[in-house]
């Protein structure tokens, strides 16, 4: 077990003048703080370590303070975990809290400080420096941080937990969140800065992009722009965007009609994404190669079309 580290979070505002806080607001915030530490340790160490976080028995007077003790419990010996991977500097709870920006370190920018600096702006570039640090660029501004801070900043679970820690600021009368230790606050977040800490929506990541020939029967058509047609390949039904302009022009001009049993032979672009909720597949019919009408005559073996002129 790692050494226990103590830190404190504080909520302040007119609603807390009596030093009391609604348990229904406090409990989710405490759970979020535990999730924040746990997610941060997982982002930095994977499954090799686990955060332990305890609430101390005494709640301090003043606004509304909660004291915690935390440690990182390593599942293997530290010398085995960190051998050769350059992670020793982040191998204790104090370092994780500092990387999050929750404890004070002179001149250090953790996750909280970076989000305050960004003010909701989008990161436009990240540059790896020769010393292992990274430079984050937003608009014409840039800020240098340790690589571990970038790891936490990019982790969706960390950002979501940090967002929930600040949940009490959404209540009228609670306007300040602060975190630090007995000596000093590491960060103070005001009510007007709350939007800067909103967790971003998870981004879809491209996995596979492929083009293939496929045959479909039509389940239903859509004539409004961007509406997708429902097509069946015989086993499953999909929604597909039709981007063949020539084919659509014929349909819209009533030059092309469909009957039950018709089959479209298509060139299809298949794109698969990894999303926060799992895999997602998009289908786009780039070209309708052939429109095969439903059979209206019985075909017999050996039959050939009649020769012209006979």
Q: How many domains does the chain have?
A: 2
- Verify that 239 and 100 share a domain, yes or no: no
* 80 backbone dihedrals φ, ψ, rounded to 5°: -80, -40
- Verify that 42 and 168 share a domain, yes or no: yes
- For residues 25 and 172, what is the distance between their CA atoms, to the nearest angstrom? 12
CA 14 to chain centre: 35
43, part of any domain: yes
114, part of any domain: no
Task: List the domain range (segments joined by +) for residue 167.
Answer: 5-108+147-197
- Verify that 288 and 210 share a domain, yes or no: yes
131, part of any domain: no
115, part of any domain: no
- For residues 130 and 283, what is the distance between their CA atoms, to the nearest angstrom? 43
- Verify that 188 and 85 share a domain, yes or no: yes
Of the residues 137, 163, 197, which one is the last residue of a structural domain? Answer: 197
154, part of any domain: yes
- Verify that 158 and 237 share a domain, yes or no: no
- Verify that 72 and 170 share a domain, yes or no: yes
List the one residue out of 277, 157, 150 whose CA is nearest residue 205: 277
Per-residue pLDDT of the chain (310 residues; tens, 9 = 90+): 446 788 889 999 998 887 778 888 888 998 999 999 999 999 998 877 788 888 875 555 556 788 788 877 765 433 343 333 444 445 688 889 999 999 988 889 999 999 999 999 999 999 999 888 999 999 989 999 999 999 999 998 999 999 999 999 999 999 999 999 878 899 999 999 999 999 887 677 888 999 999 999 999 887 766 678 999 999 999 999 999 999 999 988 888 888 888 999 999 999 998 887 788 999 999 999 999 988 655 666 766 655 544 4
298, part of any domain: no
301, part of any domain: no
List the one residue out of 225, 204, 176, 169 whose CA is nearest residue 277: 204
Q: In terms of pTM, does the model score above 0.95?
A: no
- Looking up residue 212, the CATH number of its domain turns out to be 2.40.50
- Verify that 164 and 268 share a domain, yes or no: no
28, part of any domain: yes
- Verify that 286 and 180 share a domain, yes or no: no
């Amino acid at each position: 077990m790692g050494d226990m580290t103590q830190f404190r979070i504080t909520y302040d505002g007119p609603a807390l003048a009596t030093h009391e806080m609604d348990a229904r607001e406090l409990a989710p915030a405490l759970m979020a703080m535990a999730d924040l530490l746990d997610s941060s340790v997982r982002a930095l160490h994977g499954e090799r370590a686990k955060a332990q976080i305890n609430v101390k028995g005494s709640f301090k007077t003043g606004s509304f303070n909660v004291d915690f003790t935390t440690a990182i419990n390593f599942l293997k010996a530290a010398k085995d975990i960190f051998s050769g991977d350059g992670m020793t500097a982040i191998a204790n709870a104090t370092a994780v809290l500092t990387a999050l920006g929750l404890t004070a370190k002179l001149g250090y920018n953790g996750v909280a400080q970076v989000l305050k600096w960004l003010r909701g702006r989008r990161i436009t570039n990240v540059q790896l420096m020769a010393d292992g640090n990274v430079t984050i660029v937003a608009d014409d501004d840039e800020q240098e941080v340790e690589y571990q801070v970038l790891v936490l900043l990019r982790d969706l679970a960390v950002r979501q937990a940090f967002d929930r820690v600040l949940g009490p600021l959404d209540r009228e009368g609670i306007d300040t969140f602060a975190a630090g230790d007995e000596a000093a606050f590491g960060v103070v977040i005001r009510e007007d800065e709350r939007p800067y800490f909103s967790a971003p929506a998870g981004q879809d990541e491209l996995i596979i992009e492929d083009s293939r020939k496929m045959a479909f029967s039509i389940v239903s058509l859509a004539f409004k722009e961007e509406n997708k047609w429902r097509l069946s390949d015989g086993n499953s039904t999909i929604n597909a965007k039709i981007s063949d302009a020539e084919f659509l022009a014929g349909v819209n001009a009533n030059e092309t009609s469909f009957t039950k049993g018709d089959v479209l032979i298509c060139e299809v672009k298949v794109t698969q994404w990894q999303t926060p909720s799992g895999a997602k597949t998009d289908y786009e019919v780039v070209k309708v190669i052939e429109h095969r009408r439903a059979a209206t005559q019985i075909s017999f073996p050996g039959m050939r079309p009649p020769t012209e002129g006979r």
